[in-house]
Amino acid sequence: MAFEFTDNNFQDTALAEGKVSVVDFWAEWCGPCRMIGPIIEDLANDYGEKVLVGKVDVDSNPNISMEYGVRSIPTILIIKDGEVVDKHVGVTTKQALADKINKYL
């Protein structure tokens, strides 16, 4: 199951040293976000402990969204060792995301 990132836990989880994190910025009212939701869940299950895959509800957690300049959703960030190493805006395929993730493992 995808991890739920919040303004309070983001620093300690997504930005952890030595970790790769995939962060999906989404909202309940966003149609494309609902389309990509099952892909994020699948990736969370596929990567297990190797990658922290999770979601940020932009309506409930505006600070993270502002800090990373998220203006359109869905936006997916790949973070390694606390730094954003890749970004995708919009709907994509599971394979395209997996290819991006695998580059940083």
Structure tokens at 104: 């940083």
Catalytic residue of the set 14, 20, 22, 33: 33
Catalytic residue of the set 15, 16, 27, 30: 30
Q: Please say if 30 is a catalytic residue.
A: yes
Three-state SS across 8-60? CCHHHHCCCCCCEEEEEEECCCCHHHHHHHHHHHHHHHHHCCCCEEEEEECCC
Q: Please say if 91 is a catalytic residue.
A: no
What is the set of active-site residues? 30, 33
